[in-house]
Structure 1
Amino acid sequence: MLSALVAALGALLLPLTANAEPPPPFSEQTEVRAFIAAMHEQHGFDVAHLTRQFAQIRPNAIVLRAIRPAAVPEKQRSWQRYRERFLNPRRIAGGQRFWREHAAVLARAAAIYGVPPEVIVAIIGVETEYGGNMGSFTVLEALASLAFHYPPRAEFFRSELEQFLLMARENGLSPLGVKGSYAGAIGIPQFMPSSQRRYAVDFDGDDRIDLRASTSDAIGSVARYLQQYGWQKDAPIAVPAQVPGDASALIAAGIKPTLSVRELAAQGVRATADADRPAALIDLVTPEAATEYWLGFDNFYVITRYNRSSFYAMAVFQLAEALRERQPQTTLP
């Protein structure tokens, strides 16, 4: 992998104090010059051209602050607080509008990939509130900042930086002109560059993939992403569960379904579901409130491949259910 060629050089976190000297452009940094040389050797990039692009960006202190894990104790995590961010009247109404405006494209994606429209809409709603908040960071600068100045995940972000430059070249984009999140996620569905190259589709038929400007490409790409990770058409996502005793061992087993509903029932978990279906016990914790327990099935696990958080997957599921319940049923003449 390209990142291995430069990883050995190491990376130092930028000083983030107000009095720190502004960091030099990326083009002056030894690691970046090694990265540029590797991009030339492996992918044929022009060294001078790439150097000029890196000369126009500097390490971004806001990105480096944002990526650091929040110093919030586990006991303060709140499902109810998280849920309120996504299950609210504004986001539900926005999802209804988005579904109406793009009903034909959503129906086509569902027919091809087997993912229901409400799930596609809910993911886009959670990610960017239906394209309204796609991020304002220069993706090249954000990824370079994390690739060369955030040691805990430097290898991952160097790989994403490589994928981003390849993606930009393939789609005729200027790397300096692409905006996204502080972590380098792009467009209406917030795909990382590697995911865009691997899963995104030209769903509007214009011979290019544009996840920022083409809602059709975004819809088709979300559906294909979930399908490629194993989405099961017409299968359930999750159901409420009751756990009368200590559930810590089952929770520690993780969110990948490994036990059948019948096997979980033998350990005291009660839920209304197909006894033979694999499931995982999910806990949704809110301080000073009773923990919610759910059984998450394979499709719930697939949603966590988009964002590896049970809170995230449950927010997508519940927003999808709220949208489906409010979607008017059309009848054929």
Structure 2
Amino acid sequence: MAQSDAFPNEISTLTKSQGPPTNRHRIVAKSSPIFRTWPFLDENSVLHWYHRRFRHANREVIVNEIRQRFEIGKLRSLVMKVAKKCTWCHVMKAVPRSPAMAPLPEMRLSAFVRPFTYVGLDYFGPVLVKVGRNNIKRWVALFTCLTLRAVHMEVVHSLSTVSCIMAVRRFVSRRGPPREVWTDNATCFHGASNELKSAQTSWKFIPPASPHMGGAWERLVRSVKEAVGTIWEAPRKPDDETFETILYEAEAMINSRPLTYIPLSSDPSQQLEVSTTYYGPVLGAVTEGVSADHHAEMQMVRRSQRPGSWRSGAGGWRNCEEPVNSGTNSGSNPGTGWSSSAGTSTDIVGNLTKTSYKIGCFGCREVS
């Protein structure tokens, strides 16, 4: 159609001519812009031949090869039409159609309900924590609000039903009883549902072997792991107290994300975060100024100040709770490997007080 509109006289002349293309050369008028290009009519046989010759290659390959010998108007669109009519391309290059997304469940779109009315529960872990000289496994119970996408996390010490019940009771005490709890088919979840039957809460389980139906909480598990990785960067394993602190700070980070896309031209005071609907707008400042080095330092201080712990000196093992003579400014106990020093510090009300330290052979310092 495009060639008929652009060269009507030339096509009329070529249609009336007879014989092969070599006999129809220069039969068009010399004033025609295609006089020097040896024009002739072809019913896509050239395009089909190139399409099969180059093994049904993509459009640009066919166009490049044809342009080396022929000048055809609207060549790319013609090559695409030939490829669409090719039976081999229609079968071998067919792409399956993506299924339509199912409508969201009712609890994902419930309006005018408090946060954590509809809850999804899942475990992730284990995480190794330091307890004394041993590495102990801990798991994390992640509760997510299916409507607001807020999270609440509890540390679980085992995969037993009792630990699951304790985690759910702690969650209910702080967030209130949910209307529905959605989980997978783990044994501890089934046991907890049997023990915690009530008129206010109903437990519902996704079908077995279908983790894709729990994507509402599986995606938040990934977000929590990324948040924990940005907070805790120390190579050593945390203890229980440090691990709980890291989880709560990660929870604050996840709950401070915006609920929807916010254009840069909007008023910053009008942005709505997940935490704003439940905690208030001050949650984002919880982790400000707290680094991984701070967590590691506090963990070392707690280990060095653990009551009843023992340290090794040149004179043998000694208890860290051994009293120190605060009347001596500096000195050492010969043959024991321990030394003491004294100084001044300021208490909580600003008064100067005397402080004595006991320094062991490992460099541990205790304040008395």
The structure whose residues are more often strand, as a share, is 2
The structure whose residues are more often helix, as a share, is 1
User: When the two structures are superposed, what TM-score results if normalisation uses the length of structure 1?
Assistant: 0.25
User: When the two structures are superposed, what TM-score results if normalisation uses the length of structure 2?
Assistant: 0.23
**Which structure is higher in RCO with an 8 Å CA cutoff and minimum separation 6?**
1
- Compare CA radii of gyration and give the structure with the larger one: 2
